[in-house]
């Protein structure tokens, strides 16, 4: 078996793995990235492309468990746990439920805000410095409502963001329609997050791949890991695609596949695949200028120069490969309640993908306790693009044993004894 050696081997060529590769190349390391599929072919491809410090609030919050139970049998619910016998999911959900309190909420909110705001600034700088062609716009995001009671109850969101220094601006319905004429009269108000941004995620990942290769990195696609070799507490090689890849250090950045890959290393990585959906169209004539979150229906709407996307939903159904028509139709119905032109003239793609969800809603970034030369970079949930730049920087700093720009403690694998 032929052999390739690099300073660093990264498993996973999604937005997280490629960001890690870029920052490690900048630190002077040789890097090989290996992926079982194609570059950016997972959750990095079909998301709505927003960079959102406004999403600092964790999924686990008071009232979420009762809401999830009410939605369990509702197949088009925005957040759904498909009923099935799965001991790992049961344990994950139990730990998730234990974190649905304000104390844990506030701690996670602070930690997510720190990495999201830093990463947002880093992404802006990277796009400018490397001239990335990805339709990056510092647009902000708008959360819009049709129901006054739900808008009033959303006051917790404003408080939670203001407490961590993230700006929020309230807008009434008439003001929103002045900003976005695409909105129907049924929209009664909402909030604007001026610090958010957007990009075209597939192009962003392709551009990351381009600069990684231009910087000397090797990206190996369609090479599923066949075996991970170990000696004592060190990983020595990964066998994939008929080759053997050796390295001094390894980075696990396989997203929603972290749990099954981790089991090969004796690690119980608490990541569940949270299935999301999107529908992409050509751009309608009356498209939104600012990314929208249609709150009561939990639908994200993003428009680019050459496209338009409805996305979101969260379904815990394991690695189910069905393109669920019920959930896709829910995106269309939701958009039609808020928008004058909810769909574009031509549908170009229906998509699903799995997000890597941790029960505390924080990413897992840092060195493994079990393997002396393994770094973990996973568990970014719905915010992989938003957190990617800061994750890559933190991984490179930790591997290089430099002072870290961010406090790594909240994201450490040590909290899960990994």
DSSP one-letter code for 134 = S
Structure confidence by residue, pLDDT tens digits, 328-364: 999 999 999 999 999 999 999 999 999 999 999 999 9
Start-to-end CA span in the chain (Å): 31
Compute φ and ψ for 307, nearest 5 degrees.
-175, 175
Give me the mean pLDDT over the 194-215 stretch.
97
What is residue 73's predicted lDDT score, i.e. its pLDDT?
A: 61
Note whether 160 and 60 are within 8 A (CB): no
Give the pLDDT band (50/70/90) at residue 71: low
Name residues whose C-beta falls within 8 Å of residue 240's C-beta, 6 or more positions apart in sequence: 34, 36, 220, 223, 224, 225, 226
Classify burial at 87, counting beta carbons within 10 Å of its beta carbon; exposed 0-12, middle 13-18, buried 19 or more.
Answer: exposed
Structure confidence by residue, pLDDT tens digits, 393-409: 999 999 999 999 999 99
Asked if residue 72 has pLDDT above 90, the reply is no
What is residue 324's predicted lDDT score, i.e. its pLDDT?
A: 86
Name residues whose C-beta falls within 8 Å of residue 62's C-beta, 6 or more positions apart in sequence: 100, 101, 102, 105
What is residue 74's predicted lDDT score, i.e. its pLDDT?
A: 65
How crowded is the C-beta side of 289, counted as CA atoms within 13 Å? 9
Asked if residue 5 has pLDDT above 70, the reply is yes
Total residues belonging to the chain: 418
Place of tokens 């999604």: 14
Give the pLDDT band (50/70/90) at residue 194: very high
Note whether 33 and 3 are within 8 A (CB): no
Place of tokens 């170009």: 348
What is residue 80's predicted lDDT score, i.e. its pLDDT?
A: 72
Structure confidence by residue, pLDDT tens digits, 258-294: 999 999 999 999 999 999 999 999 999 999 999 999 9
What is residue 258's predicted lDDT score, i.e. its pLDDT?
A: 96
Compute φ and ψ for 249, nearest 5 degrees.
-135, 150
Give me the mean pLDDT over the 16-38 stretch.
97
Structure confidence by residue, pLDDT tens digits, 309-336: 999 878 888 898 888 898 899 999 999 9
Give the pLDDT band (50/70/90) at residue 70: low
Element (H, E) at 92: helix 87-98
What is residue 69's predicted lDDT score, i.e. its pLDDT?
A: 62
What is residue 68's predicted lDDT score, i.e. its pLDDT?
A: 65
Strand ranges, E, within 175-330: 189-193, 197-198, 218-220, 225-231, 234-240, 243-252, 271-281, 292-294, 299-304, 307-316
Q: Which residue has the higher pLDDT, 70 or 224?
A: 224
Q: Report the C-alpha gap between 124 and 51 in whole angstroms.
A: 10
Residue 152, token pair as written in the block: 């009033």
Place of tokens 């809401």: 67
Q: Report the C-alpha gap between 32 and 44 in whole angstroms.
A: 19
Give me the mean pLDDT over the 160-183 stretch.
96
Structure confidence by residue, pLDDT tens digits, 78-100: 677 777 778 888 899 899 999 99
Asked if residue 416 has pLDDT above 80, the reply is yes
């Amino acid at each position: 078996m032929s052999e390739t050696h690099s300073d660093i081997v990264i498993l996973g060529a999604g937005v997280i793995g490629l960001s890690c590769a870029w920052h490690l190349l900048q630190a002077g390391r040789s890097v090989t990235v290996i992926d079982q599929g194609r570059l950016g072919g997972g959750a990095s491809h079909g998301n709505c492309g927003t960079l959102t410090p406004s999403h600092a609030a964790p999924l686990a919050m008071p009232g979420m468990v009762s809401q999830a139970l009410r939605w369990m049998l509702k197949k088009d619910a925005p957040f759904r746990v498909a009923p099935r016998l799965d001991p790992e999911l049961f344990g994950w959900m139990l730990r998730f439920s234990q974190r649905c309190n304000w104390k844990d909420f506030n701690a996670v909110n602070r930690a997510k805000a720190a990495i999201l705001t830093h990463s947002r600034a880093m992404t802006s700088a990277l796009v400018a410095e490397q001239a990335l062609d990805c339709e990056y716009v510092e647009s902000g995001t708008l959360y819009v409502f049709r129901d006054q009671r739900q808008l009033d109850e959303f006051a917790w969101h404003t408080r939670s963001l203001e407490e961590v220094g993230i700006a929020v601006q309230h807008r009434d319905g008439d003001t929103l329609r002045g900003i976005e004429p695409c909105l129907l009269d049924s929209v009664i108000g909402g909030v604007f997050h001026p610090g958010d941004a957007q990009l075209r995620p597939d192009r962003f990942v392709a551009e990351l791949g381009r600069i990684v290769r231009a910087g000397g990195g090797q990206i190996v696609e369609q090479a599923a890991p066949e075996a991970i070799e170990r000696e004592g507490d060190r990983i020595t090689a990964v066998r994939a695609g008929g080759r053997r890849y050796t390295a001094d250090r390894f980075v696990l950045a396989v997203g929603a596949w972290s749990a099954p890959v981790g089991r090969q290393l004796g690690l119980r990585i608490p990541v569940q695949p949270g299935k999301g959906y999107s529908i992409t169209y050509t751009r309608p004539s009356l498209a939104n200028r600012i990314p929208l979150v249609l709150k009561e229906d939990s639908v994200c709407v993003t428009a680019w120069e050459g496209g338009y996307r409805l996305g979101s939903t969260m379904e815990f159904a394991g690695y189910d490969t069905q393109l669920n028509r019920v959930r896709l139709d829910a995106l269309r119905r939701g958009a039609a309640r808020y928008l004058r032109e909810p769909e574009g003239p031509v549908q170009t793609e229906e998509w699903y993908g799995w997000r890597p969800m941790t029960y505390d809603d924080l990413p897992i970034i840092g060195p493994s306790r079990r393997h002396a030369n393994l770094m973990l970079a996973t568990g970014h949930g719905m915010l992989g693009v938003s957190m990617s730049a800061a994750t890559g920087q933190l991984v490179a700093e930790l591997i290089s044993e430099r002072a870290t720009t961010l406090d790594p403690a909240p994201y450490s694998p040590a909290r899960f004894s990994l």
